[in-house]
Chains A and B, each alone.
Chain A
């Protein structure tokens, strides 16, 4: 099975761990890795326009505090998984160089030459690990399409902050937290579902902890899906638009209420 990986940045830990696990998996060939350039004026402008202060908070956490520093002490984090796997290289460039996998550094995943490169590679599937909207041409450039692991349970929880929204919405206990592997389509998390996995929130976990602990589970779900597709044992089930709701970034006041709910229920 020939696959490609779309990554939001060169040192994304999620992309690196996933790429490494794919490389180790029999019957799966990583044929192409596509990384978005971090310092592209268009990208910065577009993301600031879309995410504003939220983007800078993310940059602050990743670049200044260091994503790996935050995860270092946590045995359930992606960092721990990377350490366990003895992940080579500091970024995808080094990892791909070591395994002789062609890597493209691009301004936008949707650039026509990128879509053409994916088409020419005759991929069975493209794994999406972040990096913005994916347009029709790229969605259709491989045999099975672009596969994404969404940090929420579909079809109910589409969109943003879908770890926080179910906790705010739940009256009793904590439910509807989980991951969904799906094939991306032109809608927001409306594509056919491959696998769903509920996640149990542990006592004392914060939203940040829940998200951090989702990291390795997202890799596992991607791998489970790939194996299923490789062996022809997995079928996609389409969603209806009206089956779920699209959620948006939480206002801090609403997030505060969700946090209270989380603390009172764990």
Chain B
């Protein structure tokens, strides 16, 4: 009884502080509001945004609308998921310079991993399928073990890619999950989105927010397709 009175409130407070899970309703509200705000912003001014950003907003909006529908028939062709605009050679060059031919290690991931791996899953060039498959399990394992500490670059000088990279990695995991029906990848994407939430919950318009909104929308869409 005494033990209960002393420890119970302390442990409950500790759980509250350490638990980084974002309640579903809160996340859905954030997603609705975020998409609405950023759509309005881009309608009034395109400053700081490009065509690719608009495409991502449109995709996030469509996926979010789909999430709200009471029933669905998953038709992969109903959305334009293609967000990569890289050249084949650029991706090949990037793979060539990967240290030890690995996209991630215990000290972090190689800059532009999110962008490049997304391009690979979107385009599926035959010669890189084996490379892609060899990386995704390690990517999953290291993010799960090192958590946020895995989501840093293992090279300096690419700061501008870091935040987009993190969100593109989450999008990548959601897509792998839908393609392979392996829910472990969605599980990690959901965790990554929770970790990023505190940094974006008060954001309204930054281009980085677009990637985060799309990451959340993709994971929520995957939840609907794979878990409901």
How many angstroms between the C-alpha atoms of A169 and B228 in the bound complex? 13
Total interface residues on A, CB under 8 Å, equals: 22
Partner of A56, one of B3, B15, B194: B15
Instruction: Knowing A64-B4, A64-B7, A251-B190, say if A245 contacts B184 (CB, 8 Å).
Output: yes
Would you give the shortest CB distance from A37 to chain B, in whole angstroms?
19
Instruction: Determine whether B36 belongs to the interface, using a CB cutoff of 8 Å to chain A.
Output: no
Instruction: Knowing A52-B18, A254-B227, say if A64 contacts B187 (CB, 8 Å).
Output: no
Partner of B15, one of A60, A245, A246: A60
Q: Is the CB of B15 within 8 A of A169?
A: no
Stretch at the interface among B19-27, B46-54, B61-69, B105-113: B19-27
How many angstroms between the C-alpha atoms of A250 and B21 in the bound complex? 11
Instruction: Knowing A57-B15, A60-B15, say if A52 contacts B7 (CB, 8 Å).
Output: no
Q: Is the CB of B21 within 8 A of A252?
A: yes
Q: Is the CB of A251 within 8 A of B7?
A: no
How many angstroms between the C-alpha atoms of A248 and B140 in the bound complex? 9
Q: Is the CB of B187 within 8 A of A250?
A: yes
Instruction: Determine whether A85 belongs to the interface, using a CB cutoff of 8 Å to chain B.
Output: no
Q: Is the CB of A251 within 8 A of B4?
A: no
How many angstroms between the C-alpha atoms of A52 and B144 in the bound complex? 13
Residues of A within 8 A of B183 (CB): 168-169, 254
Report whether over half of chain A's contact residues are helix, strand or loop; otherwise say mixed. Answer: helix
Q: Is the CB of A53 within 8 A of B190?
A: no
Total interface residues on B, CB under 8 Å, equals: 28
Would you give the shortest CB distance from A16 to chain B, in whole angstroms?
20
B 186-217 to A, binary, CB cutoff 8 A, 1 in contact else 0: 11101100100000000000000000000000
Q: Is the CB of B184 within 8 A of A59?
A: no
Q: Determine the residue in chain B with the shortest Cβ distance to A55.
A: B18
Binding site for B on A (CB under 8 A): 48, 52-53, 56-57, 59-60, 63-64, 168-169, 245-254, 257
5 residue pairs, one from A and one from B, having the closest CB atoms: A53-B19, A257-B227, A53-B18, A248-B144, A251-B190
28 contacts between A and B (CB under 8 A): A48-B18, A52-B20, A53-B14, A53-B15, A53-B19, A53-B20, A53-B21, A57-B15, A59-B11, A60-B7, A60-B8, A63-B3, A63-B11, A64-B3, A64-B4, A64-B7, A64-B11, A168-B183, A245-B184, A246-B141, A247-B184, A250-B187, A251-B21, A251-B194, A252-B21, A254-B190, A254-B227, A257-B223
